[in-house]
């Protein structure tokens, strides 16, 4: 029988749920929860506890992390607290002005959302006309890494795996591979339905619907929203079934709480309807990480066949 890890292996921390884009594959326009920015003291509390465990912090959930005026400072706080791996996702609109500061802060991993190869496709995907600016900012960031001889943060250029993109995978690789560092890569991501809130095709799960397994997220990870609310996964993006608040409780106590243990038991017994948003959720198909693919490796494997 599957058992939960002693402490989450990964925690997504939502620095803010404000955003400067309107992406068609993001549910945030449907928020009923308030918009805001995480308090630095709350973040430090989270980082200090996570620094005592082999836990990765990913500074992003729904919102643009670099809109938080203390985002770079928070990266440094996490690294100073001993967090083993700190990652951050950005839409790149303001990336260039933070390039040196993010490198200096010790950021381990940076994900730059691009999602399109041209201006028209970008507007259709992200709802804003930022294409040229984002391309320039990402190239500037990669150039600064080269000039400084830094391989960190390990950087990926992200493309959502839409039907439109499928026919252009080789073109994506040809456009971005030449400007990447030796450890950087282009990543494609299967769009998540966010518990049915987004009309997205979903990659096949490990055993098909009839053999639906317990969702890995319940046993390995948590999400902490900008106000400290803790949720069990990204499918509960509007916090309809919260587990507690990281400003009032230790993460460890939330992780081992009777309620989260009840949800895990329900999943193990395939009683998904007993766990709030899980009944009709399809996001479990992506919980093992299969939706994230290194494009160069994928194309290389295809060419070798």
DSSP the chain: -----SS-SEEEE-SB---S---TT--GGG--SPP-B--HHHHHHHHHHHTTTT-EEEE-SSS-GGGSTTHHHHHHHHHHTT-SEEEEEE-STTTGGGHHHHHHHT--EEEEE---SSHHHHHHHHSSS-HHHHHHHHHHHHHHHHHHT---SEEEEEEE--HHHHTTHHHHHHHHGGGS-TT-EEEEEPPP-TTTTS-------SSTGGGPPPPTHHHHEEEE-TTSEEESSGGGTT-SS--EETTTS-HHHHHT-HHHHHHHHHHHTT-GGGSGGGTT--GGGGTTSTTEEEHHHHHHHHHH-
Measured between alpha carbons, how far apart are the two ends of the chain, in Å?
Answer: 37
Average pLDDT over residues 176-184: 94
pLDDT on residue 1? 62
Average pLDDT over residues 24-46: 94
pLDDT over 90 at 104, yes or no: yes
Q: What are the tens digits of pLDDT across the range 208-266?
A: 456 799 999 999 999 999 999 999 999 999 999 999 999 999 999 999 999 999 999 99
pLDDT on residue 154? 97
Q: Note the pTM of the prediction, 2 decimals.
A: 0.94
* Cα–Cα dist 73/144, whole Å: 19
pLDDT over 90 at 156, yes or no: yes
- Which tokens is 180 given? 């990447």
Q: Under 8 Å CB-to-CB from 89, ≥6 apart: which residues?
A: 58, 59, 60, 65, 110, 111, 113, 158
56-59 sheet: strands from edge to edge: 244-245, 229-231, 221-224, 10-13, 56-59, 85-90, 109-113, 154-160, 185-189, 292-294
pLDDT on residue 298? 85
Question: What are 224's strand-pairing partners?
Answer: 13, 230
pLDDT on residue 9? 97
Q: Map tokens 């971005």 to a residue.
A: 176
pLDDT on residue 200? 66
Rounded percentage of the chain residues whose pLDDT exceeds 70? 96
Average pLDDT over residues 15-24: 94
* Cα–Cα dist 195/291, whole Å: 16
pLDDT on residue 304? 74
Cis peptide before 153 (omega within 30 of 0): yes
**Mean pLDDT score across all residues of the chain:** 92
pLDDT over 60 at 206, yes or no: no
pLDDT over 90 at 121, yes or no: yes
């Amino acid at each position: 029988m599957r058992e939960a890890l002693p402490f989450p292996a990964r925690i997504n921390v939502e620095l803010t749920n404000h955003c400067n884009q309107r992406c068609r594959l993001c549910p945030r326009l449907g928020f009923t929860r308030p918009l805001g920015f995480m308090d630095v003291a709350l973040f430090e509390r989270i980082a200090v506890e996570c620094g005592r465990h082999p836990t990765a912090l990913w500074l992003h959930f729904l919102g643009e992390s670099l809109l938080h005026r203390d985002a770079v400072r928070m990266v440094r706080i996490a690294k100073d607290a001993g967090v083993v791996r700190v990652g951050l996702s950005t839409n790149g609109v303001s990336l260039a002005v933070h390039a040196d500061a993010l490198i200096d802060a010790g950021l381990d991993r940076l994900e730059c959302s691009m999602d399109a190869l041209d201006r028209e496709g970008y507007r259709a995907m992200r709802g804003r006309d930022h294409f040229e600016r984002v391309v320039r900012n990402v190239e500037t960031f990669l150039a600064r890494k080269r000039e400084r001889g830094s391989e960190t943060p390990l950087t990926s250029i992200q493309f959502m795996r839409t039907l439109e993109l499928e026919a252009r995978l080789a073109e994506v690789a040809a456009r971005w591979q030449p400007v990447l560092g030796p450890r950087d890569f282009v990543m494609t991501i299967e769009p998540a339905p966010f518990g049915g809130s987004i009309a997205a095709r979903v990659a096949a799960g490990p055993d098909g619907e009839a053999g639906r397994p317990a969702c890995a997220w319940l046993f390995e990870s948590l999400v902490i929203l900008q106000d400290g609310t803790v949720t069990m996964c990204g499918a509960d993006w509007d916090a309809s079934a919260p587990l507690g608040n990281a400003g009032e409780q230790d993460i460890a106590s939330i992780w081992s709480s009777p309620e989260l243990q009840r949800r895990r038991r329900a999943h193990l017994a395939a009683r998904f309807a007993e766990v709030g948003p899980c009944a009709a959720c399809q996001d479990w198909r992506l919980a093992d990480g299969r939706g994230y693919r290194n494009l160069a490796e994928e194309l290389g494997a295809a060419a070798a066949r």
